[in-house]
Structure 1
Amino acid sequence: MTTFTLYELNSLVRQTIEGSMDQDYWVDAELSECRESRGHCYMELIQKDEFSNTPVARASAKCWKNTWAMLQPHFERITGQPLHAGLKVRLKVYPQFHEAFGFSWIVTDIDPTYTMGDMARRRQEIIKQLKEEGVFDLQKELALSAFALNIAVISSETAAGYGDFVNQLADTPFDFHTQLFPAIMQGEQVEQSIITALNRIYQQQTELFSSPFDCVVIIRGGGATADLSGFDTLALAENVANFPLPIITGIGHDRDESVLDMVSHTRVKTPTAAAQLLISNIEKTQHQIETCEERIAHYAQSRIEIEQLRLARLSEHIPPLFSLVKARQEALLDRHLQTIASHLQRTLEKEGHRLNLLEQRAQALDPTLLLKRGYSITLHNGKLLRDPLQVKPNEEIETRLEKGTIISIVK
């Protein structure tokens, strides 16, 4: 049996591959890893079992610098995002085996429409599930406060879009208050980072002594080449859809709406547009208040004028009405005086007659009349004596007669 050196055996493999697989092949796979180094792109390809999600095939792929310089901008322009782990891709490759570095597929072309189709399919699956859960339109049912001035902002602290948003609000006469909840807005950590920020906002919103927020704004800068796949996930969409405050998205891209945009309360394209939305909301409220103030002032002025006219008409009727009332009251007073005088006269006559009767009774009871009739009155110690037993022997009694008084000593 012939024995080969490793280099000889690898050379035999290379010659076999080059001889039997001398053309390019289109392959569908998922990226498990994708990185750039010195202008080259290095990929790890994977295929998972349809039912168990277990990897059933793996391979390495490379796209050399000259080719990658043309394929990268084309792919990102079409899909709106760079190649990254988790994307489904269709690559045009040919096999290469190197004695020192082993086997890899060399990428010569990428079909962005395949990735777009897979992204669209996944988005439709997420949208379908959200609708089946009954949460897809929950945010639309919330009302943005007419006085939305306290804003919770989810963004990268260093993003230019965040600075533009804050500066635009600050340049208004309105008293906006913003609080930043920093989050990663690009790459694979977008989903969990934004969910964490939402949880922090909710926690602060429910604290006893904290100032409540009126709405949440999720903003970021970026253009067509930005990585937006993190905004098309089920977990993030469910968190946003079920959030109790209106959420405004200004992610800053021109392609079709992300799932996050679809389930949010209001979607605008850029952070500055989100700021303008809030400013317009307050301006509308201010206009309504000013309109109401004008209406109230107009109504009050009109009412004052009406009441002044009514008072003027009433004042014209006051003198004759006063004379009439005065005459009526004077006549009523005269009648009352006559009634009082008549009643007083009758009372005086009645009381005078009663006094006469009392006088006659008093005269009839006058003791001098009794004395004139021959009767006498006996007094003891100045008091009328009625009982002889009241007098002791040797005591003095006084007897009054019509013509004089007799003093006697009792024996």
Structure 2
Amino acid sequence: MEQPVRTFSVMQYMTSIRNKLADTPAVWVHGVITQIAEKQKVVYMSIADFAEGDVRPIATISLSCFAGQFAALRQKTENAPTPFVIKEQLKVCLLIQADVYIPFGKLQARVLDIDPVYTLGELAVTKAAILKKLALEGLLEKNKSIELPQMPLCVGLVTGEGTAAYKDFTTRLAASPFKFRVIPAFAKMQGNDTESSVLAALDTLRENSEIDVVCIVRGGGSKTDLNYFDSEALCRAVANYPIPVFTGIGHEIDKSLLDEVASVSCITPTDCAKRLVERAQESWSDLVETARRIADSTRSLLSESKQELGMAATRLQQRVTSRIQGEKTRHAVVLSTLQKDSHFLVKEELARLDRNTEGLRQGTRKILDLADSEYRLIELRVKNADPETALAKGYTLTLDKNGKFVRNASQLKSGDTLTTKFRDGTVESTVR
């Protein structure tokens, strides 16, 4: 008879595995943090390995850490020679102890320690790689090549709302003799939301065409906050920004990658505002100096022009006087000539008038006699053409029944009545 197979409950099985894992020594494991979730008592994390050029993890392990232990790890990283914050997308090397979470049957190692040296090396390599990539693409000088306006009085400001950085920056501008206009776009300047928040603020300010310059400022604080400004996305956004970008991140010693691509890098928000005031002051001084030179040149030019005009007026007066004198002489000669010619012409016209008067006196009679002779001749011609004259000479006039002269026999036909007019009477006859 077969012996019954021994069985175990799930709890017994998982507990057995847990006991076995307890004998596994703690080891150092490196990977990229893909998730951090901080609860009240426990912090849950995940780290993973990735193939180069691929965003999908090829191996992932879940981790847990008691809140107190995690606070100690964080204190350790913040006190490192180059402080940094434990956050997602950070490469870390952790000392972990294999463990299993029985309620879910999930392998979940416990984090015991962190190696800051490993992460600092990776951060340095990553930062150097980003810097090299930006340099090869010509992005380190791109924003610097944009000319800053002579009077950058309209300023776009990216900073935390109600922060000391905002107050320091605006107070310094307000204390200047120039009327700066600040257009803020508030953003989170620390923590995991720094990148997305600053990018959104830059996009907002880009829509305002009146802005002359954009300043990204934040005050002092933990050196770990500087890591958030090593973002490649932020660096590219600033490098490709259409107007100059100033940074005043608030770290006097260390420089972030964002400082490297900005048009001007300042050590504090106040220093950033000071640079703008200095630019405006230099432009104002240049303007005043230019105005002074223009005024001096104008006065000199006016003096020279006044002298030239005086000399020109003298020359003109001399020429006009000479011209007037010449014209007077010419007019006198013309007047004398006109007087002589007029006297001669008047004398000639008077003689011609006398001749015409005599001619009219003698010629009128001759004209009348000639006209009378022509009249008598016409009268004689008219008298000779009178029919009565012809009748008196023995001629007759033959008229048809209509009283018209008959000049040809072809005008008549048999039976026509004719009237023949003689000197002393008329006779009617009929044509046969």
AA at the equivalent of 2:114: I
- Is the alpha carbon distance of 1:26 and 1:6 closer, same or farther for their aligned partners in structure 2, counting shifts above 3 Å? same
CA contact (8 A) 1:370 1:376 kept: yes
- Superposed, 1:3-402 pairs within 5 Å as 12-13=16-17, 16-21=20-25, 25-34=27-36, 42-51=43-52, 52=54, 53-62=56-65, 65=68, 71-78=73-80, 79-94=82-97, 105=109, 107-205=111-209, 212-254=210-252, 256-306=254-304, 314=311, 318=314, 326=321, 329-367=324-362, 377=368, 387-388=375-376
Q: CA deviation at 1:119?
A: 1.9
- Is the alpha carbon distance of 1:113 and 1:351 closer, same or farther for their aligned partners in structure 2, counting shifts above 3 Å? farther
Identity %: 26
2:391 match: none
Q: CA deviation at 1:174?
A: 0.9
Q: CA deviation at 1:71?
A: 4.4
Provide the secondary structure at the position in 1 that maps to 2:255.
coil
Per-residue CA shift, 1:355-400, capped at 9, x if unaligned?
Answer: 4134224313314x886xxx79579xxx98952468999xxxxxxx
CA distance in 2, matches of 1:20, 1:242: 52
- Is the alpha carbon distance of 1:384 and 1:358 closer, same or farther for their aligned partners in structure 2, counting shifts above 3 Å? farther
Per-residue CA shift, 1:12-43, capped at 9, x if unaligned?
Answer: 5555445452xx533212223345566x7735
AA at the equivalent of 1:155: T
CA distance in 2, matches of 1:49, 1:322: 98
AA at the equivalent of 1:45: S
CA distance in 2, matches of 1:54, 1:351: 130
Q: Could you say which structure has the larger radius of gyration?
A: 2
CA distance in 1, matches of 2:101, 2:321: 128
AA at the equivalent of 1:119: L
CA contact (8 A) 1:81 1:224 kept: no
Per-residue CA shift, 1:127-153, capped at 9, x if unaligned?
Answer: 344345444432122111111111111
1:397 match: none
Q: CA deviation at 1:263?
A: 2.0
CA distance in 2, matches of 1:348, 1:121: 121
CA distance in 2, matches of 1:310, 1:353: 58
Per-residue CA shift, 1:248-302, capped at 9, x if unaligned?
Answer: 1222234643332222222222221211111111011111111112222333334
CA distance in 2, matches of 1:272, 1:321: 66
- Is the alpha carbon distance of 1:254 and 1:2 closer, same or farther for their aligned partners in structure 2, counting shifts above 3 Å? farther
CA contact (8 A) 2:215 2:245 kept: yes
CA distance in 2, matches of 1:222, 1:331: 92
TM-score w.r.t. length of structure 2: 0.72
Provide the secondary structure at the position in 2 that maps to 1:297.
helix
- Is the alpha carbon distance of 1:171 and 1:11 closer, same or farther for their aligned partners in structure 2, counting shifts above 3 Å? same
Provide the secondary structure at the position in 1 that maps to 2:59.
strand
CA contact (8 A) 2:30 2:91 kept: yes
What are the ranges of 5 or more consecutive residues in structure 2 without an aligned counterpart? 384-432
AA at the equivalent of 1:387: Y
CA distance in 1, matches of 2:121, 2:255: 15
- Structure showing greater relative contact order (alpha-carbon pairs closer than 8 Å, 6 or more residues apart): 1
AA at the equivalent of 2:200: T
**CA RMSD, Structure 1 to Structure 2 (Å):** 3.9
TM-score w.r.t. length of structure 1: 0.75
AA at the equivalent of 2:215: V
Per-residue CA shift, 1:143-199, capped at 9, x if unaligned?
Answer: 111111111112221322112212221222211111112222222222222222222
Provide the secondary structure at the position in 2 that maps to 1:267.
strand
- Is the alpha carbon distance of 1:88 and 1:348 closer, same or farther for their aligned partners in structure 2, counting shifts above 3 Å? same
The alignment of Structure 1 onto Structure 2 pairs a total of residues equal to 373
CA contact (8 A) 1:82 1:225 kept: no
2:404 match: none
Q: CA deviation at 1:95?
A: 5.1
Per-residue CA shift, 1:96-139, capped at 9, x if unaligned?
Answer: 67989997655554322321222222233333443454444321
- Is the alpha carbon distance of 1:81 and 1:323 closer, same or farther for their aligned partners in structure 2, counting shifts above 3 Å? closer
What are the ranges of 5 or more consecutive residues in structure 1 without an aligned counterpart? 206-211, 394-411
Provide the secondary structure at the position in 2 that maps to 1:151.
strand
- Is the alpha carbon distance of 1:361 and 1:255 closer, same or farther for their aligned partners in structure 2, counting shifts above 3 Å? same
CA contact (8 A) 1:31 1:45 kept: yes
CA contact (8 A) 1:152 1:181 kept: yes
- Is the alpha carbon distance of 1:20 and 1:219 closer, same or farther for their aligned partners in structure 2, counting shifts above 3 Å? closer
CA contact (8 A) 1:81 1:225 kept: yes
CA contact (8 A) 2:61 2:108 kept: no
CA distance in 2, matches of 1:354, 1:181: 106
AA at the equivalent of 1:86: Q
CA distance in 2, matches of 1:57, 1:293: 70
CA distance in 2, matches of 1:322, 1:60: 107
Per-residue CA shift, 1:198-228, capped at 9, x if unaligned?
Answer: 22222343xxxxxx11111122224233434
